[in-house]
Amino acid sequence: MRTAAELAHLYEENKAVTGRYVHATARGHEAIQLAAAFHLRPTDYAAPYYRDDALLLGLGLTPYELMLQLMAKGNDPFSGGRTYYGHPALRRSGFPLIPHQSSATGMQAIPATGMAHGLKYLESQGLRSVGLETLNAELDLTSNATPNHSLSASYSAPATSPVVLCSIGDGAMTEGEVSEALQMAVLHQLPIIYLVQDNDWGISATSREMRAMDAYEFAAGFKGLHRLRVDGADFNNSYVVLAKAFEYVRRTRGPVLVHAKCPLLGHHTSGVRREWYRGDNLAAHVLLDPLPRLHQHLLHLGISEAELQQLTEEVRALVATDFQRAQAAPGPDPATFADHEFAPPAVTEEAGERTPNGAAKVLMVDAALHAVDEILSEFPEALLYGQDVGGELGGVFREAALLAKKYGDTRVFNTPIQEAYIVGSTAGMSAVGAKAIVEIQFADYIWPGLNQLVEELSKSCYLTNGQFPVQSLIRVPVGAYGGGGPYHSGSVESTLLTIRGIKVVYPSNAADMKGLLRAAFLDPNPVVLLEHKGLYWSKVPGTEDAKTIEPAAGYVIPLGKAAIAQAADPEQLRRGATCVVITYGMGVYWAKTASRAFAGQVEVLDLRTLNPLDFDAVEMAVRIHSKVLVLTEEPLMNSFAESLAGRIQRTCFWELDAPVFMLGAANLPAIALNVDLERQMLPTAEKVAAALDELLKF
């Protein structure tokens, strides 16, 4: 506790150095944090929040290591200088596993609950979670190697069953995502402790301004959530109450919320000074300082003042020495700034049989169903969940039909209407070794999940210096046809493609669906698989080719490889009378239908994956044909297609015989319900044909 206090004091005394980057400290919260640290075991999992440096000290991290992060040094053990102080990400023998999380103002509740969910699932299947027993053998953190976790070994529940600790400030409890996490924790009775540290402040806003009830009172609404209150400034009380919490979760495998009242003695962060807004409140909080309270208790136990003073001097010397060492430590190598956007892909070559002898043609929706079925059969750590995918329905498109009956409700199950949980929980699942396939029912519903996709999934690999890539497969039906209306017809790829650190895949036929879905599952990174509803059953005129021979089990296509969906005639190419349509999804079929009026003159390049983009294939096609149409179903303005056209114009300018043509939907905020209005807004084969005619004549 003295070490934590000395860190805060040193940071304030040296703010010209330490204030270069924003930080917060545990000052006032030390007692509850240390009590929590002493109950965590190496087999546990933790999601600290940004004020938890005392908790990290209690786990055994040194002041020097924390200071390396404070000053964004290259040897920062959590992120290599990439993220803020008090944002740990740790795989280390003898420590709980601490995956990446964002700035932890409520969003961390979902990935943390996902960890507990993954633990509960693996235990139910007789599998072991990814802990240090497997990680030490499988993960070489000095290389870029991706761990190949094998979870099929028999699981026997130890007496010290693992627990997840989610630490959070009371102000963050008002976040809607916290409610989603608590709902799932009680619905599935998950082994997690929510430690709520309540200091009555949220930056400069008081608790009276932010809430009608504290976290303990709020939690009463979640039936099945065990609740405890504690004086978080009293170490003895904190230790005893947390002992009860950990024992309860280890024994029952159900959730607990611990509400700890703490004083706030430091600044909210170094960037928001307490003197700007605290007034007389600070004097009141000083009276609750946990450090003098523990000091008096130790005197009462017979420890002398001289011993305590000696300890203080030793700590002060250690902190000062570590500060000098940390200042002298080298920064990160600027040449490594782009490392670890993604973990290396698991699939780098096409493999398996695409057109096995005797195989029948299959619809795209069935190819997806069969691919998931084969994955669930082969990988016991895999599970599938989302709205309406379990039970009898098996998805609103029947894309998961009968899987729940085949694999059971613990592997294939329905979730509440909680897109944030569906997306964000996969980060926690990945951390413990479960491999989630999840579904967003329609692309128009993905927006509540974007916070988790951006903050928790996309940044994890990069901000942990490659320690915590997130394996996550998110299936999203997209696209318009037949009067789906404004909330069931959206195309969202351009929005997704502004999120760095995720992959976006868009198959256009059954064979590609099966090969790309499996590759997306095997990829150690977050992958969003966009599936056009109008191609699922090949009912839309012109989409008959989306139905293909079904590839054999195990067939994979590497992400980031485009394919020629239709080749131009060599004689037309020799005459210089061809063009290429660069597209994906439904655009493939608009282009193929339109091209019938231009016999042999139109090549169609199906991108298949939008990130990573096969720009080599794009450039090659442009240089061969010299005339290009970029075709999309999205509104064109500020879209991925418009960006791609600009890039082509920049890199292939001298090979072009015409400006890069573009065609997309009308620049309107939604797809209208009426089918005639829908047709007017969207590209059609007729509109594509008109564009091709103009392009070929240019």
Angle between helices 364-378 and 510-522 (to 10 degrees): 30
Q: Which residues contact 416 (CB under 8 A, 6 or more apart)?
A: 180, 183, 184, 187, 387
E strand or H helix that includes residue 629: strand 628-635
Residues composing the chain: 698
In terms of Cα–Cα distance, which of 90, 15, 123 is closest to 410?
123
629 half-sphere exposure, CB direction, 13 A CA radius: 32
Distance CA 424, CA 420 (A): 6
In terms of Cα–Cα distance, which of 428, 438, 410, 372 is closest to 127?
410
Estimate to the nearest angstrom the gap between the alpha carbon of 614 and the chain centroid.
24
Q: Which one of 23, 100, 188, 488 is the catalytic residue?
A: 488
154, amino acid identity: S
Place of tokens 């009590």: 35
Distance CA 37, CA 58 (A): 5
Sign of CA dihedral 56, 57, 60, 65: positive
17 half-sphere exposure, CB direction, 13 A CA radius: 14
Is-catalytic flag, 488?
A: yes
Q: For strands 412-414 and 563-566, give the pairing.
A: unpaired
Distance CA 99, CA 46 (A): 8
Distance CA 319, CA 561 (A): 53
**Could you tell me the two tokens for 648?**
């082509």
Three-class SS state of 181: helix
Q: For strands 201-202 and 205-206, give the pairing.
A: antiparallel
**Residue 567 backbone dihedrals phi, psi, to 5 degrees:** -90, 150
**Could you tell me the two tokens for 604?**
């169609």
Residue 510 near residue 333 (C-beta atoms within 8 A)? no
Q: Which residues are catalytic?
A: 488
